Amino acid sequence: MMKERRPATPDGGQGKDEAKLIARAKYDREAFGELYERHLQKIYTYLYYRTGNHADAEDLTSRVFQKAYVHLSGYEHLGLPFSAWLYRIAHNIVANWYRDQSRRKVVGLDEAVRHSSEEDPGSSAEKSDEQERLLQLIRKLPEEKQQVIILKFTGGYSNAEIGEILGRSEGAIKSLYHRTLLTLREKWVQWE
């Protein structure tokens, strides 16, 4: 049975080239290094938004790639981007980190903007008040809603890909995303 080929994702594509690279990475460290380079910034950004500081994000990013390297031999490319598997690992690692830390840090706006691959720090100064308000609203959301927003806007993932990462159906993610946006809009209006 043939798998349907999906278009490339924003973080490095998937198709045949990535499948070949993954297969090679199972025995070739250089190939794994290329996978690492392709996905490092997005995984780090995700973990930074989840933890709120550089040291923890760097440590957890390292753990994600160590775990991926150790378990790569059991990975099967089934048409989803390799990053979905990495995000799943990152999600589990950060959940364990929160249990171990029993604390939640706040992400400072300056730090969040500086490390977002989507933002230009020079132009973001004009929007800092609005961004700070939005980040404060996002931080007050339940964990799963935060994840959906972070993956949508920092990772550029589709509902299906987010569903794979979070272990939910595409329809459930679409509904969760819609409800989250409505909640954010309502809270934004209340804030004004």
Identity of the residue numbered 65: F
**Residue 160 near residue 168 (C-beta atoms within 8 A):** no
Cβ proximity of 12 and 39 under 8 Å: yes
**179 Cβ contact list (under 8 Å, min separation 6):** 145
Res 123: pLDDT: 52
At residue 127 the predicted structure's pLDDT band, cuts being 50, 70 and 90, is low
Percent of the chain exceeding pLDDT 70 equals 78
pLDDT band, very low/low/confident/very high, at 128 (cuts 50, 70, 90): low
pLDDT at 109: 43
Instruction: Confirm if 63 and 100 have CB atoms less than 8 A apart.
Output: no
Residues 177-192: what's their mean pLDDT? 84
pLDDT of residue 1: 35
Does 68 score more than 90 pLDDT?
Answer: yes
Query: Above 80 in pLDDT, residue 61?
Result: yes
Sequence-distant contacts of 52-60: CB under 8 A, at least 24 apart: 52/104, 52/105, 52/106, 52/107, 52/108, 52/111, 53/105, 53/111, 54/111, 54/115, 56/97, 56/105, 60/90, 60/93, 60/94, 60/97
Residue from 94, 99, 87 nearest 155 by CA = 87
pLDDT digits (tens, 9 = 90+) for 173-182: 999 998 988 8
* Residues ≥6 apart with Cβ < 8 Å to 165: 84, 87, 88, 91, 151, 157
Per-residue pLDDT of 21-36, as tens digits, reads 999 999 999 999 999 9
Helix H or strand E encompassing 19: helix 15-25
- Give the chain's mean pLDDT: 78
Say which amino acid occupies 85: W
At residue 124, does pLDDT exceed 70? Answer: no
> Which range has the worst mean pLDDT, 21-30, 68-77, 116-125?
116-125
Using CA atoms, how far apart are residues 17 and 91, in angstroms rounded to an integer? 26
- 51, 108 Cβ separation under 8 angstroms: no
Q: What's the average model confidence in pLDDT over 35-61?
A: 89
DSSP-assigned letter for residue 80: S
Query: Whose CA is closest to 187, among 153, 126, 132, 141?
Result: 141
Instruction: Give me the domains of the chain, ranges plus CATH numbers.
Output: 12-105 (1.10.1740.10), 141-192 (1.10.10.10)
162 pLDDT higher than 90 = no
